A and B are shown apart, each in its own frame.
Chain A
Amino acid sequence: AQSVTQLGSHVSVSEGALVLLRCNYSSSVPPYLFWYVQYPNQGLQLLLKYTSAATLVKGINGFEAEFKKSETSFHLTKPSAHMSDAAEYFCAASLDTGRRALTFGSGTRLQVQP
Chain B
Amino acid sequence: GAGVSQSPSNKVTEKGKDVELRCDPISGHTALYWYRQSLGQGLEFLIYFQGNSAPDKSGLPSDRFSAERTGGSVSTLTIQRTQQEDSAVYLCASSPRGTGVRPGELFFGEGSRLTVL
Residue numbers of A with Cβ under 8 A of B are 6, 9, 32, 34, 36, 41-46, 49, 51, 90, 92, 94, 97-107
Given A43-B111, A100-B48, A101-B56, also A90-B99 (CB < 8 A): no
Which of these, A6, A32, A45, contacts B103 with CB under 8 Å? A32
Question: By the criterion CB–CB under 8 Å, are A102 and B100 in contact?
Answer: no
Question: By the criterion CB–CB under 8 Å, are B106 and A100 in contact?
Answer: no
Question: By the criterion CB–CB under 8 Å, are B105 and A46 in contact?
Answer: yes
B62 within 8 A of A: no
Question: By the criterion CB–CB under 8 Å, are B42 and A43 in contact?
Answer: no
Given A43-B4, A106-B41, also A97-B101 (CB < 8 A): yes
Chain B residues positioned under 8 Å from A90 (CB to CB): 42-43
The secondary-structure label for the interface of chain B is loop
Residue numbers of B with Cβ under 8 A of A are 4, 31, 33, 35, 40-43, 45, 48, 50, 55-56, 58-59, 91, 93, 98-103, 105-106, 108-111
Chain B residues positioned under 8 Å from A42 (CB to CB): 110
A43 to B, closest residue via Cβ: B108
Question: By the criterion CB–CB under 8 Å, are A49 and B105 in contact?
Answer: yes
Most interface-central of B43, B101, B105 (chain A CB within 10 A): B43
Question: By the criterion CB–CB under 8 Å, are B99 and A102 in contact?
Answer: yes
Which of these, B102, B103, B110, B111, contacts A102 with CB under 8 Å? B103
A105 → B minimal CB distance (Å): 6
Chain B residues positioned under 8 Å from A92 (CB to CB): 43
